[in-house]
Structure 1
Amino acid sequence: MRSALVVIDVQESFRQRPNWRHASRPDIADQVGRLVAAARGRGELVVWVLHAEPDTGDVFDPALGFVRLMDGLKPEPGEPTLTKTSHNAFTTTNLQQLLTSRGVGAVTICGIRTEQCCETTARVASDFGYEVTFAIDATATTPIEHPSGRTLGVEEILERTEYVLAGRFATVKTVDELTRS
């Protein structure tokens, strides 16, 4: 079965937000870079996904120039870059068609935000029948403030995401586990 690494929203937009200083993995580009190198070494497809919110005037508006991969990450020739406008990487892109046309049956998910775009993509991929691996420490998130005033910390978010995905929608692994020779 062919595999693909799907890199979601590891883009400069997030570093422009004030809450990025509280990110669970400020070194996300390095972690993702390790996964990318390993995937390329195995001859796997690497798919890059960026999130855009055109005409909003915020950091996800392509006109501002932040809807680009974080420094240190660069697609190689033949590695598609898709732009999405929904939370998951499937709904507003041709990701499923791309994976199907290349015979991909297994995907590894990494990127930003752990509980939002990454988790949602993992769930949709599982529903579409893909074998899903979730690279938990190659995802990043920031604290989430609830309208009640309670704030969910990054460790709680990571633990919750791992708990709800493992054995249901994905196999949860670390970068070290995924990059071992």
Structure 2
Amino acid sequence: MATTEHRSALIVIDVQESFRQLPNWPAVSEPEIVGQVNRLVTVARAKGDLVVWILHAEPGSDTPFDPASGHVRPIDGLDPQPGEPVLTKTSHNAFTTTNLEQLLIRHGVRELVVCGIRTEQCCETTTRVGSDLGYPVVFVIDATATHPIEYRDAPAGRPLAEVLADPRTLGTAEIIARTEYALAGRFARIATVAELEKEAVAG
């Protein structure tokens, strides 16, 4: 059976239940990440673009990212459809430990649209690798989410309130801004969900 070709692919990265099980979830930068992703999925499906779902797994870790936990699945409200690949990775980027590149080639994909969790980690890393592989990438900044980052020598296991009160903690707004600066004009075009919806309507 012939494989359907798609000009663009929406890559939904790690929007999974695992993150909601972490103690820092209340500090997430985009609490409406599911709604934002669903808006992009609606646009992609309407255009006939390929939608690829990526999940992150850490087998044997005894964490919410361990498949044995039952949390390595899309967050409730996200609904992969038949024919939409669901790939599981064990690296930060979505390429190294999956067959994503082969999948994109097989479907004739020539452009990537990236969204998901976390902004500066798996989303940014996937964008960089995708760009280096030759794909023009659209990074949908308000359809990514992240959490505050503690400084490198911070004591482990601090309560979230203490992390947030520490002036050395890097806040989510600064993390997102740094990702924009790092990617724009180098690895990706930065866009918002509303901009992509408008572009889709304009054709």
Shorter chain as denominator, the TM-score bin is: over 0.9
Residues in 2 aligned to 1:57 and 1:148: alpha-carbon distance in whole angstroms: 24
Q: Tell me the secondary structure at the aligned position of residue 24 of structure 2.
A: helix
Residues in 2 aligned to 1:162 and 1:178: alpha-carbon distance in whole angstroms: 17
Percent identity over the alignment is 66
Alignment pair present for 1:97 and 2:102: yes
Task: Tell me the number of residue pairs that the alignment of Structure 1 and Structure 2 aligns.
Answer: 181
Paired residue type of 1:162: E
The answer for unaligned runs of 5 or more in structure 1 is none
Alignment pair present for 1:6 and 2:11: yes
Alignment pair present for 1:28 and 2:33: yes
Paired residue type of 1:119: E
Paired residue type of 1:87: H
Cα displacement (A) at 1:147: 2.0
Alignment pair present for 1:86 and 2:104: no
Residues in 2 aligned to 1:90 and 1:101: alpha-carbon distance in whole angstroms: 15
Higher strand share: 1
The answer for unaligned runs of 5 or more in structure 2 is 1-5, 155-167
Paired residue type of 1:16: Q
Paired residue type of 2:181: Y
- What is the 5 A alignment of 1:17-56? 17-56=22-61
Q: What is the CA RMSD across the aligned residues, in angstroms?
A: 0.9
Match of 1:179? 197
Cα displacement (A) at 1:146: 1.2
Match of 1:106? 111
Q: Tell me the secondary structure at the aligned position of residue 67 of structure 1.
A: coil
Match of 1:163? 181
Q: Which has the greater radius of gyration?
A: 2
Alignment pair present for 1:74 and 2:74: no
Give a deviation string over 1:102-123, Cα, whole Å, max 9, x none. 1001000000000000000000
Give the TM-score of the pair, scaled to structure 2.
Answer: 0.88
Residues in 1 aligned to 2:150 and 2:171: alpha-carbon distance in whole angstroms: 9
Cα displacement (A) at 1:26: 1.2
Alignment pair present for 1:147 and 2:152: yes
